[in-house]
């Protein structure tokens, strides 16, 4: 939107209001945005194909969740966990697992 406003020599909000009010302009902006996303995806895919492991990890974290990849774990349960009843070994295991995940996220 900033580029459009600059080219039209108007304020950002003026450009946005104008585009939002015109369905054809709105669709044109959406199409351009999708095209830029397609280009960005192509760059990431090429980088992964060329062996860039950081880009591969990022791609797996975003697009590979259905295969078990990703930094976030969705935990849903219907009850609270009472850590008071856990053994020291169980608590230590949870802490070590959490620390290992934090270290893995930084690499």
Structurally, the chain folds into a number of domains equal to: 1
Closest Cα to residue 4, out of 24, 45, 43, 32? 32
- Tell me which residue range forms the domain holding 50: 2-106
pLDDT computed for residue 42 by the predictor: 95
Residue-wise pLDDT for 65-98, tens only, equals: 888 887 665 566 666 777 788 888 888 888 888 8
Higher pLDDT, 44 or 100: 44
Answer yes or no: is pLDDT of 49 > 80. Answer: yes
**104 with 97: CB under 8 angstroms?**
no
Q: Which pTM was predicted?
A: 0.52
pLDDT computed for residue 103 by the predictor: 61
Q: Count other C-beta atoms under 10 Å from residue 15's C-beta.
A: 21
């Amino acid at each position: 939107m900033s580029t459009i406003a600059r080219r039209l020599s108007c304020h950002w909000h003026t450009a946005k209001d104008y585009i939002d009010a015109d369905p054809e302009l709105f669709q044109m902006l959406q199409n351009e945005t999708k095209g830029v996303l397609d280009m960005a995806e192509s760059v990431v895919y090429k980088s992964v194909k060329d062996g860039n492991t950081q880009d591969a990890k990022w791609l797996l974290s975003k697009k590979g969740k259905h295969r078990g990849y990703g930094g976030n774990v969705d935990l849903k349960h219907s009850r609270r966990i009472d850590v008071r009843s856990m053994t020291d070994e169980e608590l230590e295991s949870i802490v070590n697992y959490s620390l290992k995940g934090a270290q893995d996220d930084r690499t």
